[in-house]
Amino acid sequence: MSSTAPIGVFDSGLGGLSVVRQIRHGLPHERILYYGDSANAPYGTRPPEEVRSLALGVARRLVDQGAKAMVVACNTATSVAIDHLRDVFDIPIIGMEPALKVACDQGHGSSQKVIVAATPLTLRESKFAALMKRFSRTNIILRQPCPDLVRIVEEGQLDDHELVDTTLHQYFDAYNLDTVDSVVLGCTHFVFFRNDFRRLLPRTTAIIDGNKGTAHHLSVVLESLGLMAPENQRGGTQVSNSNPSPALKRLSQDLLERPL
């Protein structure tokens, strides 16, 4: 495999573009092939077998296009399909999981109260149960599914602040937020709501996502395999989507560029 080959990145839809932004920032010489499966989004409310089969189809497409490595920029697809994808494809595959470790480590040994916001499927799957088990002995971990946030991104309603705030209040008003140390954004779509979460949460509550860690992990893997793009390569991103509408194309471009 050549180091000049592209990196495949995919998500159920547009959320993974938040990961692409981070990869572009850290690895500016890489060429990225992004595939959003918006025609089948959301994944987070589908049965696991269905998500596994959709993820397999998308991954195959990226491998057929010559990807040297792949990032599953979707916590939901990772939780049900990553092992299968690694069995089937012979390239490095990097998955994502809610950054619970980062949140708990912030306590430096003292107990943390953490809300994990993710899709219903991610929070139901055994991968997340195993992660919870690792950290819930010494920390308080609360699970909050937020499926409507995915829909808001996919429908281009991020700037409808009234809708966003009502939706966030509907999910988080039941908590005593002053006692929460951090909120983990365990779905790549949710990263686009960082400023909205900031307005909702007390200043003392940290907002944590896994995008930086994923981009870093990718760079370590590429480096160790000699697959890092040469410095004279011009990086870039090619975005494709299973929903071919021009409106979605414009929305993808906006999500790649909007200030976060």
Interface residues with ligand DGL (CB under 6 A) are 11-13, 15, 41-44, 74-76, 119, 122, 150, 187-189
* Cβ at position 248, least distance to ligand DGL in Å: 14
Nearest residue to ligand DGL on Cβ basis: 44
Amino acid at the residue 142: L
Residue with Cβ nearer ligand DGL (182 or 188): 188
- Minimum distance between the CB of residue 156 and ligand DGL, rounded to whole angstroms? 15
**Smallest Cα–Cα separation from 67: which of 184, 216, 218?**
218
The residue among 5 and 251 lying less far from ligand DGL, judged by its C-beta, is 251
Tell me how far apart the alpha carbons of residues 193 and 159 are, in angstroms, rounded to a whole number.
10
**Whose Cβ is closer to ligand DGL: residue 44's or residue 228's?**
44
Residue 48 corresponds to which amino acid? P
Q: Establish whether the linkage from the previous residue to 42 is cis, with ω within 30° of 0.
A: yes
Q: Which residue, 99 or 150, is less far from ligand DGL as judged by CB?
A: 150
Nearer to ligand DGL among residue 5 and residue 70 (C-beta): 70
CB of 41 to ligand DGL, least distance (A): 5
Closest by CA position to 55, among listed 11, 5, 8, 101: 11
74 noted as active-site residue: yes
Q: In what order do the strands lie in the sheet with 69-72?
A: 93-94, 69-72, 7-11, 31-36, 236-241
Q: Which of 20, 51, 74, 121 is catalytic?
A: 74
Q: Which is nearer to ligand DGL, 5 or 116 (CB)?
A: 116
187 catalytic residue (yes or no): yes
**Taking the complex as a whole, how short is the minimal distance between the CB of residue 121 and ligand DGL, in angstroms?**
7
Q: How far is the CB of 15 from ligand DGL (least distance, A)?
A: 3
- Helices (H), ranges, the chain: 17-26, 48-64, 75-88, 100-105, 120-124, 126-135, 147-154, 161-172, 194-200, 211-224, 246-257
Please name the residue that has the structure tokens 């069995």: 87
Q: Which of 41, 115, 118, 187 is catalytic?
A: 187
Q: What is the DSSP letter of 29?
A: T
Which H or E run contains 72? Answer: strand 69-72
What is the C-alpha to C-alpha distance for residues 180 and 169, in angstroms, rounded to an integer?
15
Q: What are phi and psi of 6, to 5 degrees?
A: -80, 165
Supply the minimum distance, in Å, between the C-beta of residue 258 and ligand DGL.
Answer: 17
Which residues are identified as catalytic? 74, 187
